[in-house]
Amino acid sequence: MQLVFLATLLCGFLSTVSAITVKGRFDVDTINITGVTWSKTFFKLYQVGNYSGLPYHAKAQLKNDNGDFEFQNLPVNPGLNATTYFVLYSGSVDFNLKPNRVLVELINKDGDGESVEINAYRNVFGKEYFPSPDIVHPEELEPIETDPFIPITLVQMAPVRAYYEQRNTGMLQSGPLATLLDARWKQAGWITLIILMVFPIILEKLD
């Protein structure tokens, strides 16, 4: 009984010691990454699938102006070709990011965790990470690059999120009066009408 307990404890210890680092980058060229962006952009990593003990979970933020972030000391399941899975979530207060869900796969290539293959797969809402074996032709997740980092970018079609909106825009920007002046031809028409009304009065005064 004690031998079984020691063996279980040793396996858990090896799984914890054999740890690596997964790197990512908020890879955008259209904006300048500043300290404000650092604090409003975050990444979370959760261990899923087959694991023993408490699952790994961590939160990371941007490290520098290049948009780098990383998760350290990820546990690797012991055994040759043993797999360990994690789910990477990306989020931001100001930006819409993609992919917002990434399945990270670690493959123990030598059994000791010294040589680990890192794979990543883009996922979208509605797709399963691990399809049922009963499905004949399951949908496959799209692989994405991991070397030298997992890229996270902006959703190009989605605008930057705006949280401040001017409530009182004035009579000339909203309301019935704005409708009468929202086009140049309408403005020209009103100016012409005013001139036609005022011009006879001016002529009468001159006489």
Average pLDDT over residues 30-34: 67
pLDDT at residue 181 in the model: 74
Residue type, 6: L
Alpha-helical regions (H) of the chain: 2-17, 35-40, 176-180, 184-206
Q: Which of 14-23, 63-72, 150-159 has the lowest mean pLDDT?
A: 14-23
Q: Domain boundaries in the chain?
A: 2-154, 176-206
What pLDDT band is residue 21 in, cutting at 50, 70 and 90?
very high
Mean pLDDT of 125-136: 69
**pLDDT at residue 165 greater than cutoff 60:** no
- Distance from first CA to last CA of the chain, Å, rounded? 121
pLDDT at 15 over 50: no
Q: 8 pLDDT band (50/70/90 cuts)?
A: very low
pLDDT (0 to 100) of residue 16: 45
> Which residue is listed with tokens 């279980």?
8
Closest listed residue to residue 114, CA positions, set 11, 20, 47, 21: 20
pLDDT digits (tens, 9 = 90+) for 168-189: 666 666 667 677 777 788 888 8
